[in-house]
Every structure is written in structure tokens, then in C-alpha cells.
Structure 1
Amino acid sequence: MSESINKVDILSMTYGELEEYFLNINEKSFRAKQTFKWLHSDRVKTYDEMSNLSKNLREILKENTYINNIEAIDVLTSKEDGTKKFLFELMDGNVIESVFMRYHHGNSVCISTQVGCAMGCKFCASTLDGLTRNLTASEMLSQIYEITRITGERISNIVLMGSGEPLHNYDNVLKFIELITDENGYNLSGRNITLSTCGIVPNIYKLADCKLQITLAISLHSTTDERRKTLMPIANKYSIDEILKATDYFFEQTGRRISFEYCLVANENDTMEDANRLSKLLNGRNAHVNLIPVNPIKERDFKSTNMEFVHKFKNVLEKNGINVTIRREMGRDINGACGQLRKSYIDSKGGKNR
């Protein structure tokens, strides 16, 4: 990363910022469109590949900017469903992970938004070593671009649900969304992006005011504040009622249905009483529940609810008029849960992230 000190992260620059940059170095503004295309449509990794830029301009860019590249240091492929788990090394030596999943409706990638996580959710491996730092917009983009290069397949859906809390890295995440949806670049529809949050209420309101056409997913995982506090420390700051009021506002501003993720943990939050309480919480709201049998991690003693009870829970919600699906388990045989592969890698290095 030392070579990038005092240089501009060009991959994190929006189209407008790139235009301004070229004007400031006395270049024509159309150079921005050429360069933006190379970076985000052709996804080149070096300036030498930008063949329609003069050699002199390429040298100027090399001296003053850098392309934030990441490197895949491990790729695991599930024998069960073909899911791929990527371990990426960033330019500063930190490691993050991403997951590539094939569905009938297209390829989905779950990306990280932070190195580690500060939220402390008890069932998640991402948070075991705490938060190291936020990812830049370019480091989020690079996960998509590198997976596209490696697989040779276009990504049609992006989920901000890997390591990290997206709304804890609000500004960089918003810039990432602007870049990945830009028609001059990757040109992904905002409707094909899901942002998952444990419920940072003020930033849900801020996001709502942006009126983006993304899907907002709330990691709820409990039907009472008391029980939620034992699973998710964020519940000590924001109540379920506060979160629901914020999601109501998000729906008012965007017209986008809210998704509620509910991780089923045996003997913790999977009773029929929980199912009925969840139904009452969401009654009358334009909402969808995604039931997730918890993916066990060795550092915790949580166990997944057996599938018979998962279906009973689902049936209660449906009888109460709640839209609900059971998430298909992907990559269970390759450390599929968020943070597991990264945690294993860090442990193998003696507990150091770099």
C-alpha cells in the first residue's frame, strides 16, 4: 500500500469526480468517459491497458493515482452446489472474503464492506476479531470485478451482507452503489442490490432520503428487545420499535418492500410464540421474511433449528399473512458463514490479519 500514499484512489472516483480531475490537470473532460469505461466496464488492472490514452497521460495517471487492485489468495468451491468462497488480500495486507452463488435468476455475490466488524452479533464469525477498518468504494467494487474476471460470468445481483456492517461505513457504501450502478460502467440496476443492516437507525433514515431503488434487509433475529440484546449488542442502542419506524419511513420514501432476516437458533428464538410475535410485528407492513437456519461456527455453541421446526415456523407466518421464504443454504461445506474463511486464515497466521 506504500506506493499509493499521497496518490488518488482513481477507482473510487465517481464519473463526476473523474471529469473534474481531468479538467484540473488540463485534460479534456471526455478523457473521464474513456478512463471510466476502462476501469468499470473493461475492468482493467493497469494503466498500460488503456490504449486510447496517450502515453504521456498514462504516465501522469501512474504518478498521481493508483488502481486499487485486490488479489484472490484462496478460492474454495462447494462440492454440494458450486458456491465459491473467495479470500482476498487487499493492498495493505488485510484480508476479506466474498461469496459467489449461482441461482436460476442469475449470479449473486455477497461482498464485505469492512475488514472485520464492530457489531458483535453472537452468531457471526465476522465480528470475532472486531473491526480493523472500513473498506473503500474501490475495495468493494474490486470484489465484484475480480470475481467477474475469475469466473468469466457477469454478476447480476449484489448483497452487502459479508463481513462488516454496511451502514457503519455509510459514505463509502453509498459511493460504491453510485459507481456500480453508473450506466457508463458496470451498469447494475439498483433493484439488484440488497443492503443488509443490523439496524443503525439514523443511517436508515439517511438512506431512505436518498430514494435509492435498492432492497433494504434488516437483520432482526428476535421478536423482543430483551432477547435481541443477548444476540445483537446493537439492540442496546436501538429498539425493535425504532427500527420498524425507520423501515416504515424507508418504504414511504422508496416504495421498496422491506426484507427481514431471521436467523433461527435452536432454543433461542425459534418457538411458535416467536413466530406469532413476529407476525404481529410485521402485520400490515409491506414486508418479506427470510428465514435462515443458523450456520454454526466453532467459537459459539449455537445450534441450527431442525428443518421440521423451520417449516412449522414458516407455516405460522404464512397463516398470519406474512410473506416468507426459507433461505437455501449455500456453501455449507466450505466455511459458508460470514467470516469463517477469513477467521481460519487469521488463526493460521497466529491471530494476525496481515
Structure 2
Amino acid sequence: MRQLGAVRPALTGFSKDELTALVQEWDQPPFRAGQILDWIWKKKVGAIEEMTNLPAALRDKLAAEYRPHALEHTHTQGSADTTRKFLFKLHDGRYVESVLIPANPALYGEKSDRRTLCVSSQVGCAYGCKFCASGLAGFSRNLDPSEIAGQVLAAERLSGERVDNLVFMGMGEPFANFDHLMAAIEIITAEWGLHLGARHLTISTSGLVPRIRDLADHPQQIRLAISLHGATDEVRNKIMPVNKKWNTAALFEALDYWNSRKKQHLTLEYILIQDVNDDLEQARILAGHARRLTAKVNLIPYNKVEGLDWVRPSETRCKAFRDILKNAGVSATLRLEKGHDIDAACGQLRLKQETEEGIIEAPVKAR
């Protein structure tokens, strides 16, 4: 069983094989594992005592040695456009956040037709992208599979809605926690788990080239997004330290390998920052990369982060940047991100909470 320290492990971190082995060690029939998983992932119970078709002695033993869930929900920020950000407390007192985003705002009391959850993979981040809140206080630790998969389960329990799509582009660099991430994905996609198809999962990376190749060789049809944010080494080096280890040439070579192995189109994510990467020549170079890779481009106007003084470009500049891509035949979307009123940028809510509690010091404003 995967676990962190001496804390009681959470049942949301077990695979079916692991749980079957455990109940057999306790002289229980293998079908008990399926019953436990059904209570957790299908019925979404909050306590082991609620698993009423288990023998009382088994419930008592489970409760003594395991937690049903890895996350304690502490706060929800709701938005006028129905986006919700959830803050979860972990067993070591640190915090992690997830964001539930509707495809379309609810109209006249009707529910959105699709819900996407942005999932975190680490507490903090070691990769230090200059515009991002997640890494302002540095890296603390990786999340384990129960904490990653548990975010999806918790979001469904809290919202009462089915999550249709997952994007691993919350706090942290997912590929820096590759083994735990893939173990969580096994749980998320399994029929006995959340049973969400791999094609509805997208992993975003700042550019860890070896892991791009590893995912390309993985049998599941998981989608890939690249946090590019600069079309040249000159621009990317200014804001993304990872580019100094794996430059654009190495990155695009890995993406060529991806295209040779996968059918899913790549997505290039590009946060537009005034006077940093919004020059229209960057748009023309980006168009060439995207066209060659047959990649979609998501343009995201910069979301203000307390502690950083980057600026969002004007709407006119954002649209001009988009139009260069579109006129070059690239599928490009200018994303008017949801949740401006709920500390929308990755890591902001967690950063605020941990600063208030004195877990971390307030970040020094830097550029």
C-alpha cells in the first residue's frame, strides 16, 4: 500500500488488487474488496460505518487502520459564473485546491452540460514559472494517489454532479510526480473506480521531455497539453526555468514523437502577458509550430496573482494575437477564463490560507 509517513492510509489510494490482498490477509473473501470500493467510489459514503453490508468486525478493523478519504474539505469559493474552487486540508496540515469549471454557465436555473475539474498533483511546485502562484512558496511534497484521485471524488460529493473531464493542470508539475499520477489515473479510469474514460483526461506539463515520451508510450489514450507560454527560447527562458534544461528544440522533438505514437491532437497553452510574450512576432512563430504539430492553441489572458506584477494585455492585443493564429489556419481559442472573483489563478487560494496560518511566509514580490 502506498502511504505517507505514519498517518493512517486512505482507502481512496487502493487499487482493486491491493484491497483484495488486504481483505484476504484478514481472512475475508475477495468479494469484500469490491464491496468496499463500491461504497467509496459509487455510493460515495463519508464514513466506514456507512458500509452496511460489511461485517461489523471488518468495519471496525478498517476504521481502526484506515481513513475513508485523504482530504478534509475546508472551504469552497463559488463564482458568479458557477465556477467553484475547493480548498482541501491534507493530513500534514498543508492545503491543496481543485477547481470545478462548467463548460457553459448555468442559465435560468439549468445545470451546465459538462463539468471539468482542474486537479492538483503537488503541494507547491519546484519549477518556478515566473507568472504562477503555485510555486511562489516553493515545493513542499508530491501528492499521493489517494490525494490526487480523492480530489475528483470530493468534487463530485460536494457538488452532487458528475465530473466529465479532468485536467491535471492545477498546483504542481504533474510529470514531476509521474508514478503517483499514473497510479491515481488507474483508479480514476477503472470500472471499479470513477470509470472516467482516458480520453477525458488531459495532463499538462511545462515541458519535462522524458515524461512526454513515457506518456506517448503508455497504452491509455490520455491527452497532452503543453504549457508553452513562449514560442522561442529567448522568451521562454525569461519566464520558464524548465526551458534551460529542455529547450524548445528538445521539446518539439518530443512532441513529434508523441504525434508518431498518438492520435489525439496536442494542445499548446499560452498565457498572454503584456510586454513579455504578447509580441505579434511570437504569434507568427507560434502559428508555425502549431501548424506543423497539428496542435490546438489555447490563449489565456494573464490572471492577476498577488505578489507578482505581471499585467494582462489589452483585449485588443489578445484578439490580434489570436487572429494571427487563425489566419494561419491554426485552431486557436481565446479563453475568457472563469472565476475572476475566486482567486482563479492556480495556487492562490492555498497560498492565502497557508500564509494566514503562518505555515509559509508571505511571498516577496518579484519579477
TM range (shorter): over 0.9
Asked if 1:301 is matched to 2:309, the reply is yes
Partner residue, 1:291: 299
Residue 311 of structure 2 aligns with an amino acid whose one-letter code is: K
SS in 2 for 1:333: coil
Quickly say closer, same or farther: Cα 1:231–1:20, change in 2 above 3 A.
same
Structure-1 separation of matches of 2:183 and 2:33: 17
Question: TM-score if structure 2 supplies the norm length?
Answer: 0.91
Helix, strand or coil: the match of 1:332? coil
Q: Tell me how far apart the structure 2 counterparts of residues 246 and 234 of structure 1 sit (CA, whole Å).
A: 15
Q: Whole-Å Cα distance in 2 between the matches of residues 192 and 23 of structure 1?
A: 34
Q: Which residue of 2 aligns with 1:314?
A: 322
Paired residues, what number? 351
Deviation for aligned residue 1:3: 12
Are 2:74 and 1:95 aligned? no
2:165 alignment partner AA: N
Residues 31-42 of structure 1: matches in 2 within 5 Å? 31-42=32-43
- Letter matched to residue 155 of structure 1: V
Residue 61 of structure 1 corresponds to 62
- Equivalent position SS for 1:217: strand
The aligned amino acid for 2:67 is Y
Alpha-carbon shift at residue 19 of structure 1 (Å): 2.0
Call closer, same or farther: CA 1:4–1:60 in 2, change over 3 Å.
farther
Which deviates further from its counterpart, 38-47 or 178-187?
Answer: 38-47
Q: For 1:116 and 1:33, how far apart are their aligned partners in 2? A: 35
* In structure 2, distance between residues paired with 1:340 and 1:84: 14
In structure 1, the partner of 2:248 is 240
SS at match of 1:247: helix
Q: Select 1:147's aligned residue among 155, 163, 168.
A: 155
Q: Secondary structure at the match of 2:341?
A: helix
Cα displacement string for residues 62-118 of structure 1 (whole angstroms, at most 9, x for unaligned residues): 333332332222211112x12111111112211111111111340111121111111
**Is 2:20 the counterpart of 1:19?**
yes
Structure 1 equivalent of residue 73 of structure 2: 72
Secondary structure in structure 2 of the residue aligned to 1:280: helix
Residue 323 of structure 1 aligns with an amino acid whose one-letter code is S
**Cα distance in 1 between the residues matched to 2:141 and 2:210:** 21
Runs of 4+ in 1 over 4 A off after TM superposition: none
The Cα shift of 1:222 comes to: 0.3
In the alignment, does 2:222 pair up with 1:221?
no
Structure 1, 116-125 or 86-95: larger mean CA deviation: 86-95
Please tell me the residue identity of whatever aligns with 2:327: K
Aligned with residue 189 of structure 2, among 181, 189, 195: 181
Change (3 A) 1:22 1:236: same
Cα shift at 1:124: 0.5
Selected match of 1:136 from 131, 144, 147: 144
Q: Distance in 2 between matches of 1:267 and 1:208?
A: 35
> Structure 2: where are the runs of 5+ without partners?
105-112, 362-367
CA deviation after TM superposition for structure 1 residue 4, in Å: 8.0
Contact 1:212 1:254 in 2 (8 A): no
**SS at structure 2 position matched to 1:100:** strand
Deviation by residue 1:201-249 (Cα, 9 ceiling, x = unmatched): 1111111111321210000000111221110111110011211221222
- Which residue number corresponds to residue 52 of structure 2? 51
Letter in 2 for 1:153: E
Change (3 A) 1:66 1:74: closer
**In the alignment, does 2:279 pair up with 1:278?**
no
CA contact (8 A) 2:94 2:354 kept: no
Q: Does 1:251 align with 2:256?
A: no
Q: CA deviation at 1:147?
A: 1.8
Q: Which consecutive residues of structure 1, in runs of 5 or more, have no partner in the other structure?
A: none
How big is each residue's C-alpha offset from its partner over 1:127-150, in whole Å with a ceiling of 9 and x where there is no partner? 000111111111112222222122
In the other structure, the counterpart of 2:172 is 164
Q: Secondary structure at the match of 1:334?
A: coil
TM-score normalized with structure 1 length: 0.94
- CA 69–8 in structure 1, closer or farther in 2 if over 3 Å, else same: closer
8 Å Cα contact 1:257-1:288 kept in structure 2: yes
Contact 1:223 1:277 (8 Å CA) reproduced: yes
Q: What residue identity is the alignment partner of 2:43?
A: D
1:193 to 193, 201, 210: 201
Counterpart contact for 1:4–1:66, Cα < 8 Å: no
